């Protein structure tokens, strides 16, 4: 093989397009908040956040959980501040909370992020990115 494979060129194009989309979502704010689980989607979203942004990373669950420890390490690599939002009652939210979140975000699959989205002040003028490629970008304007 003499050069990059066509597949790697497509991945590179996708990555550049994705970083531009993240930049668009965060360009109006010096601070960026990310809901960070420690999984692969979170790592990709975190990697796409421009280096010059002040970063607040939020994770859910207990401090001793494996993914929480991974999220903390990832946050420290990006020199962000790390926050654990633990509220087990939100694992299975009451119908009123669930309906409100679906109306606010149009995202039905947000239950795993409720510990974070219910803890982060939504009145701030800073975006909240979910570390979930198939979920949503949230902002104070949702």
Q: What is the pLDDT of residue 54?
A: 95
Q: By three-state DSSP, how is residue 29 classified? A: coil
Say if CB 129 and CB 35 are below 8 A apart. yes
Q: What is the pLDDT of residue 9?
A: 81
**Residue whose C-alpha is closest to residue 34's, from 18, 20, 22:** 22
Q: What is the pLDDT of residue 138?
A: 46
Q: What is the pLDDT of residue 80?
A: 96
CA 102 – CA 105 distance, rounded (Å): 5
Q: What is the pLDDT of residue 11?
A: 84
CA 12 – CA 78 distance, rounded (Å): 21
Q: By three-state DSSP, how is residue 54 classified? A: strand
- Convert the pLDDT of each residue in 53-76 to its tens digit: 999 999 988 889 998 999 999 999
> Residues in the chain with pLDDT < 70?
1-4, 6-7, 106-112, 122-124, 132-142
Backbone φ, ψ for residue 135 (5° rounding): -105, -90
């Amino acid at each position: 093989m003499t050069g990059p494979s066509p597949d790697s060129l497509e991945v590179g194009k996708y990555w550049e397009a994705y970083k531009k989309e993240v930049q668009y979502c965060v360009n109006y704010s010096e601070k960026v908040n990310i809901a960070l689980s420690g999984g692969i989607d979170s790592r990709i979203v975190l990697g796409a956040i421009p280096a010059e942004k002040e970063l607040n990373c939020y994770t859910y669950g207990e401090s001793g959980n494996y993914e929480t420890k991974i999220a903390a390490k990832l946050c420290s690599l990006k020199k962000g501040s790390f926050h654990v939002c633990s509220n087990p009652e939100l694992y299975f939210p009451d119908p009123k909370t669930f309906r409100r979140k679906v109306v606010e975000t149009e995202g039905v699959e947000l239950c795993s992020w409720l510990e974070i989205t219910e803890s982060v002040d939504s009145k701030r003028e800073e975006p909240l990115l979910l570390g979930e490629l198939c979920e949503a970008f949230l902002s104070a304007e949702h």
